[in-house]
Amino acid sequence: MIKNCLLLKRIAINFMSKQFITTMNKYQSGLAYIDVEENGNPFDLFKQWLEESKKYGKINNKENPKVSACFLWSYIKEEKNINRQVRIEGTVEQLSDKECAGYYNGQPLFAQIRSNIIRNQSAKVDWIDLKKKHDELLEKVKTTNEPLQMPEHEVAYKIIPTMFDFYYAWNQNIADRILFTRNGNDWALDRIAA
């Protein structure tokens, strides 16, 4: 644990967000640089980046339509440490009310109850009050045998992908990456450095 913390600290000391730009005639080149103090704390840096992403990284298909999603699978299979990751980039599009209702109606009951009792996922709540609302909705469904209606605040988005980056590694072997980029209706495939 201490070894991992020291490694994180070393990484955090070596990086901080700055950009150095050099201009020569018509060419421009940039270098991203993460600047922290000598005794920098990785948790402080993580918190700073998280807060900035909350401020500027909200999904909005009009003002900020570009999004990315990353999925990581790390597991042991036949004594191999497998690491697989897929990174998707694209634009976001809000689903219509009808599409959103189709998605909502396909969710299990606990997810529908959650959607009805939680309007803002980052808002502070009173757990006892939340539990009471949960139990009331559950009882309503049990006694009336009617499905829960989708709340008015329910919104869903879909990602329209323009890029898929697949990463695969196991044990100490050199990893492999395949990049798919959208070219009209087709996908171009390239093997890229890991």
One digit per residue, the tens of pLDDT, for the chain of length 194 reads 333 333 333 333 333 334 444 444 555 555 566 777 777 777 788 788 778 777 766 766 677 788 888 999 999 999 989 999 999 999 989 899 999 999 999 999 999 999 998 887 677 888 888 889 999 999 999 999 999 999 998 988 899 999 999 999 988 888 999 999 999 999 999 999 88
Say which residues have a Cβ less than 8 Å from residue 194's Cβ, sequence separation at least 6. Answer: 167, 169, 174, 175, 176, 177
Statement to judge: residues 9 and 52 lie in one domain = yes
Domain count, the chain: 3
The C-alpha angle 117, 123, 126, rounded to 5 degrees, equals: 65
Statement to judge: residues 1 and 52 lie in one domain = yes
Statement to judge: residues 135 and 167 lie in one domain = no
Cα separation of 111 and 138, whole Å? 12
Cα separation of 136 and 151, whole Å? 16
Statement to judge: residues 9 and 36 lie in one domain = yes
Backbone angles phi, psi at 77, to 5 degrees: -135, 120
Burial (CB count within 10 angstroms: exposed 0-12, middle 13-18, buried 19+), residue 122? exposed
| Domain that includes residue 103, residue range | 98-153
To the question of pTM greater than 0.85 for the whole model, the response is no
Statement to judge: residues 141 and 171 lie in one domain = no
Statement to judge: residues 68 and 40 lie in one domain = no
Cα separation of 56 and 147, whole Å? 37
Predicted pLDDT of residue 32: 60
Statement to judge: residues 64 and 44 lie in one domain = no
Statement to judge: residues 38 and 66 lie in one domain = no
